[in-house]
């Protein structure tokens, strides 16, 4: 089950967020739970390289469990504040969502984008260029972590585009620690690197989130 826990940071501490791994995993790896500063320090530092990148190299959105709901719709269903009605061929009607990037309430699924918290191009730059097609597909459709994919307003997603935290940050002040945690957890989960500017931006943001613990499981 995909668990959606998007709580706000309270005073000087943030409750760690846990998530499940896909049922197809042969054995769930032990979760990691570390202070955000330590998690950032553990990320490998490398120069980014976009040579050869093509979005089509990350196959998405797929219907892995063949229930007629592709990854996009699975995220919309999981993250709904008010559940939509699911019709034939997973057609969604009604429902309500809160885009945590900009604190906007959205009542039409078509007005939402499903954002890869660490964008596909950024993942490519940071190590995914060396993956095979199957691992890139798993990354692009990662329902095993609530952090990897989020339903947000199309406007905020397109403003972000493929930028990393040194270039773009969530506009809602209340989202800072959640976004920091999601970004660091996703990079840690998938073994992706950071460049120097990105690392410095993450370290600066971590100073705003005392007590934040990043919890994640390594992707299979």
pLDDT the model gives residue 27: 55
Report if residue 4 sits inside a domain. no
The range of the structural domain enclosing residue 117 comes to 32-216
Mean pLDDT of 140-150: 96
Report if residue 22 sits inside a domain. no
Report if residue 191 sits inside a domain. yes
Report if residue 9 sits inside a domain. no
Mean pLDDT over each residue of the chain, to the nearest integer: 89
Contact 166, 200 (CB under 8 A): yes
At 81-100, the pLDDT tens digits run: 999 999 999 999 999 999 99
Report if residue 189 sits inside a domain. yes
The helix (run of H) or strand (run of E) holding residue 114 is strand 112-116
Report if residue 10 sits inside a domain. no
Distance CA 213, CA 205 (A): 14
Mean pLDDT of 168-192: 98
Report if residue 24 sits inside a domain. no
Least Cα distance to 125 among 58, 40, 219 occurs for 58
Residue 203's pLDDT band, with cuts at 50, 70 and 90, is very high
At 95-133, the pLDDT tens digits run: 999 999 999 999 999 999 999 999 999 999 999 999 999
Distance CA 76, CA 112 (A): 9
- Tokens, residue 50: 């976009």
At 1-56, the pLDDT tens digits run: 343 333 333 333 333 333 333 444 345 567 889 999 999 999 999 999 999 999 99
Distance CA 46, CA 37 (A): 18
Strand partners, 15: none
Query: How many domains is the chain partitioned into structurally?
Result: 1
Region of residue 103 (phi > 0: left; psi between -120 and 50: alpha; otherwise: beta):
left
């Amino acid at each position: 089950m995909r668990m959606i826990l998007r709580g706000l940071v309270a005073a000087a501490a943030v409750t760690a967020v846990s998530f499940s791994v896909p049922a197809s995993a042969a054995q769930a790896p032990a979760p990691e739970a570390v202070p955000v500063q330590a998690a950032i320090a553990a990320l490998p530092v490398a120069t980014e390289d976009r040579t050869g990148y093509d979005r089509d190299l990350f196959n998405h959105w797929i219907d892995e469990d063949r229930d007629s709901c592709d990854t996009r719709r699975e995220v919309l269903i999981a993250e709904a504040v008010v559940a939509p009605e699911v019709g034939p061929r997973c057609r969604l009607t009604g429902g309500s969502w809160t885009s945590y990037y900009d604190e906007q309430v959205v009542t039409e699924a078509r007005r939402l984008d499903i954002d890869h918290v660490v964008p596909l191009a950024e993942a490519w730059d940071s190590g995914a260029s060396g993956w095979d097609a199957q691992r890139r597909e798993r990354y692009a459709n990662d329902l095993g972590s609530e952090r990897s994919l989020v339903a947000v307003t199309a406007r905020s997603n397109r403003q972000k585009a493929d930028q990393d935290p040194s270039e773009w940050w969530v506009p809602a002040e209340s989202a800072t620690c959640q976004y920091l945690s999601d970004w660091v957890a996703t990079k840690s989960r998938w073994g992706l690197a950071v460049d120097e500017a990105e690392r410095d931006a993450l370290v600066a943001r971590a100073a705003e989130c005392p007590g934040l613990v990043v919890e994640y499981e390594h992707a299979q």
